[in-house]
Amino acid sequence: MMKRLVLASRNAGKLRELQALLQPLGWEVIPQDDLDIAEAPEPHPTFVENALSKARNAAFHSGLPALSDDSGLCVDALGGAPGVISAHYAGEPRSDLRNNEKLVHELQGVKDRRAHYYCVLVLVRSAQDPEPLIAEGRWEGEVVLSPRGQEGFGYDPYFYLPQQGCTAAELTVTDKNRISHRAQALARLLHRLRDITPS
Ligand code: IMP
């Protein structure tokens, strides 16, 4: 029997990736939109605080365990920006296209464009869960100024992986899901989840 959890995100890219990662492990991932749960505000300066507030909100309104992901791109030369505001770096309404244009603009003439994706996953079993499960992942790369690839979402066409010799948008979904910040965080979360899940 599938175990159900609500995903506290409206981001279709994250939903696809997390469903692909969790379904084989027996988890049915229900997007919060399907339950008419509105997005929680993300006012905090840290990823983990935002993730916790999103997960609590979804658990409160659904009565189910809830998983949230807060993630972003952090560029060394920009002091860690766009960071927690990655989704709306270029303002509202959110647009990957405009975010990427702004990123490229900010990095014109900058030689050292090292960056990493960061992801924190938070799982609460209930809105009042005093022991949320928290796991992080970090994926190192650098920003390129011309886009490459059609896969993924967000900043992926500009996130170059020296080890793979391609951008994240040139990886297949399967390959991205093996090595991404989200995959790393999920692998860590699942270790803890196995310890607390009755079989
Ligand atoms: P959040 O929904 O507030 O966590 O915002 C996450 C934002 O970070 C996304 O909208 C993207 O802009 C960026 N981001 C996070 N993970 C990825 C990824 O795997 N690929 C591309 N962009 C990502």
Q: Please provide the DSSP assignment of 136-169 as one string.
A: EEEEEEEE-SS---SSS-TTGGGEEETTTTEEGG
Active site residue 175: no
* Placement of tokens 């379904």 in the chain: 23
CATH of domain 3-195: 3.90.950.10
> What is the C-alpha separation between 113 and 26, in angstroms, rounded?
39
* Placement of tokens 């809105």 in the chain: 127
**Mind listing the pLDDT tens digit for each residue in 169-190?**
999 999 999 999 999 999 999 8
- The one-character DSSP state at 79 is T
**Predicted local distance difference test score (pLDDT) of residue 52:** 97
Q: Which among 68, 86, 159 is the best mutation to test ligand 1's pocket, defined by most ligand atoms within 8 Å of the CB?
A: 86
Q: For the chain, first and last CA: distance in Å? A: 10
* Placement of tokens 């990493």 in the chain: 116
Mean pLDDT along residues 106-112? 98
**Mind listing the pLDDT tens digit for each residue in 24-71?**
888 899 999 999 999 998 899 999 999 999 999 999 999 999 999 999
Closest ligand 1 atom to residue 50 Cα is: 3
- Asked if 65 and 126 touch (Cβ cutoff 8 Å), the reply is yes
Residue 112 has pLDDT above 90, yes or no: yes
**Predicted local distance difference test score (pLDDT) of residue 14:** 84
- The one-character DSSP state at 46 is S
- Asked if 53 and 111 touch (Cβ cutoff 8 Å), the reply is no
Distance from the CA of 31 to the center of ligand 1, in angstroms? 16
Q: What is the pTM of this model?
A: 0.93
Spans of all domains in the chain: 3-195
Q: Does the C-beta of 70 come closer than 6 Å to ligand 1?
A: yes
Mean pLDDT along residues 7-33? 89
